[in-house]
Structure 1
Amino acid sequence: MATMTITEIAALLAGATLLSLAVIWLAGLLPNPVRPRPDRPAAPQCHFLFRGATLIDHDAGALWPDESDAADDDWSRFRNWLAFRFGTLPTDPHSITAGKSLTFDSTLPDDPARLELQASARSLRATLHEGGPSCPAHLHEGRRRLMVLDVPKAALHAAPQPVWILGRDGHLIWQNDAAGAFPSDSITRMSAALGPLPEPTDTRTQRISLPDADGNAPDRWFDLTVTHMQAGHAFYACDITALVSAETAQRDFVQTLGRTFADLPTGLAVFDRAKSLALFNPALIDLTGLPAGFLSARPNVMSFFDMLRDAQVMPEPKNYANWRSQINDMVSAARGGLYQDCWSLATGQTYRITGRPHPNGAVAFLFEDISLEVSEARNHRSEMDLRQAVIDNLDAAIAVLSPDHRLMFCNAGFGTLLGIDPDSSLADTRLRDIVSACQARFPQSTLWPILERQIATGAPVSERITLAQGAGQLDLRHIPVGRGNTMLSLCHHAAKDAALTQERTG
């Protein structure tokens, strides 16, 4: 055998090795070769094809369009659908020059998505590029969050208060059922009534009215709150028509009440539940001299009475340490309907103060100048005292009987003569009691019953009675004095005086 060179030996070994590997591979003893694959699958995309503002094709399946969007055309709904993520897109697809493309990056943090708009002569292609594929866990989490959001979304849709969202361009992108029940232009009118919308992180609330479009119904009133959000502005409307109507009725009532009390001479001060002056009339200014500006500033009840004290329109308190306690007691008594007092002022005037409770914890004070009334009462009392003094100094005993024969009043001589105390028994003394007293003082068994019957009939009586046992004489007169009242006069003459009188008249 010829000797083999090293080269030939190496070639033979290499061939044998290749042949062995081929046999092993054919026998399936070697693993399949690893095919190269990318680290990640291709990023997902969605395509939308528009002809003008009309969507003619897309591969988004049932995810779009949003049926709750009330926009006028497909392009507007598309813009609203993407607004929260890509900001404001062109309002008119024709504004993009044919052959040009626009790219919009997501405005959300940590979101690599982008939107590409490619215009041609007849159409506009919109391609939504996600920044990377979503792993199953991400997809699951997204679906879980959507499910969690379904509950508050359903509650928001069913909320009785209208809620709607305007996109950054001012177009409506969402509304709940209550907002959808409004007339078609109501949302626009209410949104415009707020004027400039708030800036980011700002919220504004304003009371607005919504007139009826046909003018057949009264205005509706709302507290409208608007807040800035990433997609635009959210509006929350609370119907306060009933509240405004109640406030209007209350204001009209207060005005009517004010006009009613404006011409009355009685001063009126009404304090609300918080003890602030809620209503007063001009007479209060006239009676107290308090400045109108002070009263219009709605002072509290303590400041009001402090001013009255400083102006000497109420008596000086005897104990300044208990002043506030006295005022609080006064207000409490007035709320219970129990307060009434008369103030005698240093000026000689007299005020009657009455406290009365009002609804909802309010309290009213009435100020009346009763100076004339008090003066007349004093004059009348003085006249009565004078008249009483005059009849008390008459020699005759005089009494006045009412139509039902009760003793109305008598002079001192009458009480002394018959032993009657008019101060203690005036109201209970009747004609029979008077006759009994006369019988006891001047015994005449047959005379007094006859006189009682005559006086009881109201007939005039004028008798001179000679008393038994030398008791002298008694002049008795009974005469009417008007309004069914009668006067009984008794004049006793002792025996010596009676004889002298007899001689003079004899």
Structure 2
Amino acid sequence: MAVKKTSLSKQADPVSGLRMRAFGNPYFANGGYGRKTYIRLKRIARSLLSGTALVALPTAAFAQEETAVQLFSSAQVIVSSVVIGALGAALLSTVWLVRQRGNMEVETEEMRGALSEAQQRISKYEALIADKNRRIVVWESGAFKAELLGHLPVETGAPQADNEFLAFGRWLRPGSAAELEKAIDELRSNARSFDMVIETARDEVLEVQGRVSGGKAFVRFLALNNLRAELAELKIERDRLGSSISMFESLLDTIEQPVWRRDAQGKLAWVNHAYGEAVDAISSARAVEEGRELLGTVSREMIRAKATVTSPYHDRLSTVVHGNRTVLDVVDVVTTDGSAGMAIDVSEAEAVREELKRTLKSHAETLDHLATPVAIFDSQRRLQFYNQAFMQLWDLDLPFLESKPDNSELLDRLRTNGKLPEQLNWRNWKDTALAVYQSLDTKTDTWHLPNGQTLRVIATAHPQGGATWVFENLTEQVDLEARYNTLVRVQGETIDHLTEGVAVFGPDGRIRLSNPAFRALWGITTEQAEPGTHIKTIEAACAASYAEPDGWRRFAQALTAFDDERPTLDGKFQLYTGLILDYAVTPLPNAQTMLTFVDKTASVQAETALKEKNEALRKADELKNDFVQHVSYELRSPLTNIIGFTDLLKTPGIGTLNERQAEYIDHISTSSSVLLTIVNDILDLATVDAGIMELNYSELAIEDLLDDVAMQIADRLQENNMTLEIIAPAGMGTIVADQQRLKQILIKLLTNATNFSPENSTITLNCWRDAANVFFSVRDRGPGIPPDMLKTVFDRFKAQAKDGKRSGAGLGLSIVESFVHLHNGDVSIDSRAGEGTTVTCRIPTNASFHSVAAE
């Protein structure tokens, strides 16, 4: 049994070997047909092993039944059976392998045919791609490097090298390159297809298509020919024209000049923003819809009649813009499809041009009236302008100057006439003088003329060509310098003989000059005030003459201060000697300062005496006012009693008076009333002078005021057979004023008028008002006031009794003026001999409701 086991163990080796060989065969590798073949062989091996075991088992059983002693023969039988089984399995495997090999050869032929067909198709596609009219760029998904297939014609300007082809900015127009790169980015990132037409730098047209397929991005460049190229060019030209039109419309829409375009029928097709504003439209589109015209019908018809395709219309027209008359410079161009125009507002330019003409004319007139000779030459060196002083200086005849001579010719004429100084080399001198036309700087020279005059010649070249010659006569200046030097010497002598002390100091605080009066007032010597002495030294020398410590110190500070503005100082000094000096610190040119000292001792003493006298007069005036006021009050009560008793005697209850007694009573009553009026006037004036007069403001109707005044003056008018004419417009309204004082003003004026008017005459009371004042005017037909008396007509106690019916104290107009001034108004008088007198009072209406005390 042990031997059997060993034999059986050895019989398994061929199977293992078969398995190893199966795995070692290249046809059993993973991929292709190896996996399936391996599975089939494994199944066959299992069946063969099963068959061998089945054959071996009956053989062994049969041997056991025949004889147990024939062990070796049985073993041989078993080995033979195993060998036979192995050979059968090998034969079957060989047959199967031969058959399988035939099948594999068939499949290989099929695969070779498919490969050949695929290679032919790839060759066809490569031949198609390799066409010279197209090129394809392929990007794998997520890859940065592109694969390029095909080529474009050389005449397109496209690079043949792959690395140069993708640099679009080098061989495409900038606009096309930017648009293409943007479209490729959208294709690769967002899978957005595109179709476009681009232009190369050589003006060739390419069609570009972008697509995405199988996770790859394809961009095809196709060179267009013939009709497609023409269509693409037309498309590009259309886009370019559309972009240009849009750009120009946007540009025209931003300018300030109105621009419009019309169709073939003459209707507005487009206007810019400025046109819409000019015609007061909400927008430019609304202006086109509503057909608002900037120019009038006559102007449009004139443009339509004159403008042609070869000759555009260009002229200045007048129209109305925003309600103002405006001058427009209109240009209108006509085409076969319509017209287009532009208007430029030249109103301001016209005004500036006119102003320039007036300015040039004014300058010419100004230069013509100058005493300095001026001549202006143009770029051709010909005389264009000269003034009267130029013609008089050189004594040239008018026809020669009007012929506009050349500058060189003019100099030759002056030399011939003996007007110019003699020169050793005339040609060089003239060339030097005329070199101003090529010079950038102003040329200045001095000419000593044969007639003794000295001229400073200033020649200035113009930026646009030409030159201006100015001849300044220095003869008077030289003369003035001599006079100035003489004057300086005279002034020095004059200063030395002045009674006022004068000292001049420089900005360094050192004295420049001083006169003897200065040294005498301060008691210093000539050596102490020698020019160049510092003010500190002079201050120490003068300190013993006065007690005020800061006097000369103030002078020193004023002299050496660094302020931008040097102030003027003045004041007084009192010296130990009793002298009183007025000093003044006066800034002079060149940073110099002058100190002046005037002896005011006598003036101060006289001033003190005048002040004392004035104080005495003031006290006397106060005493007079107190006396007048006291007397007025004391006289009013007796006069009131006299008037009262006089009126009582006139009553029938007292008794009958004879004619003489009644006449005496009337005289007493009249005289008492006049005296009471005078006393009241004096009392009012005294109150005004004392500053205690108060006005009781109230609102009163002007018409009622006039009626009340007319009633109070009626008896006086009837007594003199006069008529009062009141002129006042209806509805005068009210005025805020003191009713009693305002009535008193009018009564005084009317009383004065009745006193100086002839009998049976008319007195006019005129009243009117404006926004802030009310005016009262009283006019009489009297003899008038002489001009020499108008200045004193408002003075007190200036009675004009010789011309009036009644004599008075002369206080009426003075009281009127005082009361009007208390109302913040004014009074004026107009009088002419033989024509009467008119007195006008102005009373403001803006007064407040309060009492105002006179000051």
Q: Relative CO higher for 1 or 2, CA cutoff 8 Å, sep ≥ 6? A: 1
Q: What TM bracket, shorter-length normalisation?
A: 0.3 to 0.5
> TM-score scaled by structure 1?
0.37
The structure whose residues are more often strand, as a share, is 1
> TM-score scaled by structure 2?
0.24
The structure whose residues are more often helix, as a share, is 2
